Amino acid sequence: MILVPVGEFPEWLLARLSRRTRIPLGPPRVDPAVAWNPGRGQYDSNRLLAELKAHYDGVVIGATACDLFIPVLTFVFGEAEMRGRAAIFSIHRLREEFYGLPENARLLESRALRELLHELGHLRGLAHCQDWSCIMSSAHSVERVDTRGDKFCHDCRLKLEAAGAAHGVPA
Amino acid sequence: MSEEKLSILIVDDEEVVRDSLVHWFTEEGYDVDSSASAPDALSKLAGREFDLVIADIRMPGMDGIELLEKIRSEQLDTSVIVMTGYASVETAVRALKHGAFDYITKPFDPDDLSVVVRNALEQHRLKRENRMLRQQLTEEASLNELIGGSDAMRRVREQIETVAGVDSTVLIEGESGTGKELVARAIHRLSPRRYNPMVVVHCGALTETLIESELFGHEKGAFTGAQYRKKGKFEAAMGGTVFLDEIADISLKTQTDLLRVLQEREIVRVGGTQAIKVDFRVIAASNRNLAEIVKEGKFRSDLFYRLNVFTIHLPPLRERHGDIPLLATHFLDKYSTQMNRKFTGFDRAAMDMLIAHNWPGNVRELENIVERAVVVGHEPLIRAHDLALPRPAEGAEDLSLESVERRHIVRVLEDFGWNQTQAAKALGIDRVTLYHKIRRYGLKPPAKAARV
């Protein structure tokens, strides 16, 4: 499994995420411009997942600063193939500046880590969890991203272990 | 929280919308399927249940509103949310008028979608739970109606308790109106299958083709008008009880099919080829003596022996007159409560009349008579003239002026609780004249109201 930037992404943050999750970094190969939708002024997340799979072998997680959408939703924080090999998450709506607030690098790192781990859970086959404090609980707003914890709950961890996928997932 | 996943069917002609919603709801932990058109959605809904349907309004051919109408007219047990590409109030109102739970405009805010879906599923769950609880209440109330202190009824109750737990087939024989369905419900409620449904088939009311489809279900196109696949009662029972009422009325052909199902414990839907395993218990009922019908050659003896493992005979009401006061008072309480009336009992004459009647329609007839009396009677007591029963001596009714006057005076006195001043006023005579008439006819107020 590798972590790769898709388009411009703060290098310091990418390095921190890689270190904290122990997921090695990979080279940038996907240009987000291919997924640009001028009508919506956003990037098609489905298309980027397809691009990631086309450009990398093995499991790959893309990190982007682009604003992602899927056709029926106004936006998504991230997307992953369930039990698949590609996932992507965006920090666009995780930045405090998006909400008109002063920049907060520490908070951004904490939110980005949660999103990354959440998509990782989907890659390992986990669906959303009813436990609000679990990293796998669903979050459709940044407030919910902040509310949920940064760890897998006991049940989700057991499921990961049962699937033989707990290896490499940070506790 | 239940481990069983809630199910959602996405209906949209745009593949990209279907795919992304399926993906999104799968991540949310739902069991998701999708259809590219309304007809495809209907055939999926005919094959299995979905808790929620999310359908696009604009689709070629049958649109979302028509789909909604179909779902309502077929009485499919599902909630519907409609999706629209345009925020049009008119469209939204149309959808809501046709029974949609809510509508949502594309593209959705993820948080809004999540809230709307959660609310729809919660409402669906509550409706289902409400229906189940109502059913349970009705069944519990029904058990209370197996009333009677007579030896015959005591034996029936003992038989119910004995047979409920052993899962054998039961045959209930008794005249119309004796409460055969109540007995079947009592057996089901006391049996280990009580958490699964009891489905009722009134065999006498169905034609041969319909009863086959009713019992075994049918595949789409099995006959004219079979637009969708439908499960039969044996499948619908899902581990519960199938109550076959008026079993004597089924044709020899259906008897053969039924025998096979009882032996093999599997069914083949009409127009289908695949055998489907079914788990059920059968309780059958007949208002005629089935053994005699077998002798007449109108009922298969092998099916009769299959059904006749344990027989409960329900006595007609005329053979247990002693139970009438108890039953009548029970129905009086039931309907007084239902209609918010304050009856406390029957007067002596009314009760005598109830006990004297022959009750060809059995308990059902008694219930109907009491229900009507609660509507027309004057509180606090039901009187003889409130009962829509033939008068005991109707054949030889005395029509002399004297006799008619006597009956009329009694009726008015009863209406005013034997208050002679008020009765005289109503009769348009003075109190002294009334007093003389009472003496002359030897009329007496009832010693004590009979609340039996």
For A127-165, write each residue's pLDDT tens digit. Answer: 888 888 899 988 888 888 888 888 899 999 998 888 776
Q: Are residues B298 and B411 in the same domain?
A: no
Asked about A97 being catalytic, the answer comes back as no
B21: nearest CA in chain A?
Answer: A72
| Positions of chain B with pLDDT lower than 70, given as ranges | 1-4, 86-87, 135-145, 224-229, 391-399, 446-452
Give the whole-angstrom CA distance, residue B221 versus residue B230: 11
**CATH number reported for the structural domain that contains residue B213 in this entry:** 3.40.50.300
Give the whole-angstrom CA distance, residue B46 versus residue B39: 11
**Of B131, B156, B174, at which residue does a domain stop?**
B131
Give the whole-angstrom CA distance, residue B56 versus residue B50: 16
The stretches of chain A forming alpha helices (DSSP H) are 11-21, 45-55, 105-123, 142-147, 154-162
Tell me the backbone φ, ψ of residue B59, rounded to 5 degrees: -140, 145
Q: Number of structural domains, chain B?
A: 3
Structural domain includes residue B450: no
B83: nearest CA in chain A?
Answer: A72
If you search the block for the tokens 């599997």, which residue do you land on?
Answer: B266
Q: How high is the pLDDT of residue B36?
A: 93
Distances (CA, A) of B36 to A71, B26, B61, B108, B160: 16, 18, 11, 20, 52
Residue type, B123: Q
Strands in A60-64's sheet, in edge-to-edge order, are A2-6, A60-64, A86-90, A78-80
Answer yes or no: do A70 and B24 touch at CB < 8 A.
yes
Q: At a CB cut-off of 8 Å and minimum separation 6, what does B138 contact?
A: none
If you search the block for the tokens 């790959």, which residue do you land on?
Answer: A60
Answer yes or no: do B111 and A71 touch at CB < 8 A.
no
User: Cβ(B365)–Cβ(B359) under 8 Å?
Assistant: yes
Q: How high is the pLDDT of residue A138?
A: 86
Our CA angle for A121, A126, A129, nearest 5°, is: 100
Q: Are residues B13 and B63 in the same domain?
A: yes
Chain B positions touching A70 (Cβ under 8 A) are 20, 23-24
Q: How high is the pLDDT of residue B198?
A: 84
CATH of A2-162, one of 3.40.50.2300, 3.30.413.10, 3.40.390.10, 3.10.350.10: 3.40.390.10
User: Cβ(B353)–Cβ(B384) under 8 Å?
Assistant: yes
Which range, of A85-89, A166-170, B79-83, B153-157, averages the lowest pLDDT?
A166-170
Nearest CB to A140 within list B16, B17, B114: B114
Question: Mean pLDDT across the stretch A119-127?
Answer: 92
Residue type, B291: A
Chain B positions touching A74 (Cβ under 8 A) are 107-110
Q: How high is the pLDDT of residue A78?
A: 94
Residue type, B358: N
**Of B289, B315, B341, at which residue does a domain stop?**
B315
Q: Are residues B327 and B216 in the same domain?
A: no
Residue from B27, B84, B108, B114 whose CB has the most chain A CBs within 10 Å, to mutate: B27
Give the whole-angstrom CA distance, residue B338 versus residue B341: 8
Distances (CA, A) of B227 to B39, B44, B221: 10, 12, 6
Q: Are residues B331 and B310 in the same domain?
A: no
Coil, strand or helix: which one is A114? Answer: helix
* Closest C-alpha among B439, B423, B443, B442 to residue B431: B423
Give the whole-angstrom CA distance, residue A112 versus residue A132: 18
Answer yes or no: do B27 and A127 touch at CB < 8 A.
yes
- pTM (predicted TM-score): 0.52
Nearest CB to A127 within list B26, B108, B113: B26
Give the whole-angstrom CA distance, residue B377 versus residue B392: 20
Distances (CA, A) of A90 to A57, A118, A170: 21, 12, 20
**pLDDT surpassing 70 at residue A85:** yes
Pairing assessment for the beta strands B275-277 and B266-268 based on DSSP bridges? antiparallel
Coil, strand or helix: which one is B382? Answer: strand
User: Backbone dihedral region of A129: left (phi > 0), alpha (psi from -120 to 50 degrees) or beta?
Assistant: beta
Residue type, B255: Q
Q: How high is the pLDDT of residue B395?
A: 47
Residue type, A62: G
Q: Are residues B325 and B424 in the same domain?
A: yes
Residue from B23, B103, B116 whose CB has the most chain A CBs within 10 Å, to mutate: B23
B360-386 confidence digits (pLDDT tens): 888 888 989 999 999 888 888 998 888
Answer yes or no: do A140 and B21 touch at CB < 8 A.
no
Answer yes or no: do B110 and A74 touch at CB < 8 A.
yes
Q: Smallest CA–CA separation between A18 and chain B, in Å?
A: 24
Our CA angle for B434, B438, B443, nearest 5°, is: 145
Q: Are residues B47 and B173 in the same domain?
A: no
Q: Are residues B233 and B345 in the same domain?
A: no
Q: Are residues B356 and B252 in the same domain?
A: no
Q: Are residues B291 and B420 in the same domain?
A: no
Give the whole-angstrom CA distance, residue A32 versus residue B59: 32
Q: Are residues B284 and B156 in the same domain?
A: yes
Structural domain includes residue B286: yes
Our CA angle for B419, B421, B422, nearest 5°, is: 70
Peptide bond into A32 cis (omega under 30): no
Q: How far apart are the first and last CA of chain B?
A: 49
ipTM score over 0.85, yes or no: no
Structural domain for B122, as ranges: 7-131
Q: How far apart are the first and last CA of chain A?
A: 17
A14-66 confidence digits (pLDDT tens): 999 999 999 999 999 999 999 999 999 999 999 999 999 999 999 999 999 99
Chain A positions contacting chain B at CB under 8 Å are: 40, 46, 69-76, 79-80, 82, 122, 127-130, 138, 140-141, 144
User: Cβ(B13)–Cβ(B36) under 8 Å?
Assistant: yes
Residue type, B13: D
Q: Are residues B330 and B211 in the same domain?
A: no
Give the whole-angstrom CA distance, residue B31 versus residue B48: 12
Q: Smallest CA–CA separation between B243 and chain A, in Å?
A: 41
Q: At a CB cut-off of 8 Å and minimum separation 6, what does A120 contact?
A: A21, A61, A80, A87, A169
Structural domain includes residue B142: no
Q: Are residues B197 and B304 in the same domain?
A: yes
A123: nearest CA in chain B?
Answer: B27
Q: How high is the pLDDT of residue B142?
A: 58
Burial of B173 (0-12, 13-18, 19+ CB in 10 A): buried
Give the whole-angstrom CA distance, residue B74 versus residue B39: 13
Q: How high is the pLDDT of residue B397?
A: 56
